Amino acid sequence: MPKRFIENNWRAPIQKMKIGDKIITKSRTITKTDIELGALLGGDYAPQFLSEKAAQDSGWKTQLLPGICTVNIAYGLLIQAGFLSDIIAYMGTDKMRFHVPVYPGDSIRMEAELTSKKKSKKGWICEYDWMIKNQDGLNVAEGHNI
């Protein structure tokens, strides 16, 4: 049965984890500023990210966070939890899917399960499944990192 490391109470670097172990990060609440800065930083000037009215005219509740910014913030939560502290490189993401939009005021957290790891001369090479969940427990996005 996998171990759970809840709400960042324990720093969980890969070297101390076993295959099947899971980590659940602390949550972070998304602000309107996060949305606008994320869109501008990435050069994604789509109106639904920069204008509440444009987002609503397109059928969204309000401005929403670009999906890739959602993933970037969630990776930051994994880093803060120590999960990625001894990984040597990001190699890629497979099967990334976005399911639910993220709006200002939503809180997201990352859940990750270690699926493989091996020690190299420079550090750890690992694979893990991840899910980003919101404050209601809905699956916002998911993928598999290698």
**Residues 46-101: tens digit of each pLDDT:** 999 999 999 999 999 999 999 999 999 999 999 898 888 777 788 899 999 999 99
Q: How far apart are CA 97 and CA 77, in angstroms?
A: 19
Contact at 8 Å (CB) between 5 and 26? no
What are the sequence ranges of the domains in the chain? 4-145
pLDDT at 123 (0 to 100): 79
For residue 59, give every residue at least 6 positions away whose Cβ sits within 8 Å of its Cβ, in sequence order, or none: none
Give residue-wise pLDDT tens across range 112-138: 999 999 888 887 889 999 999 999 999
CATH architecture of residue range(s) 4-145: Roll (3.10)
DSSP string, 4-21: EE-TTSS---GGG--TT-
Structure confidence at residue 12 (pLDDT): 62
pLDDT for position 7: 46
Q: What is the C-alpha R_g of the chain? A: 16
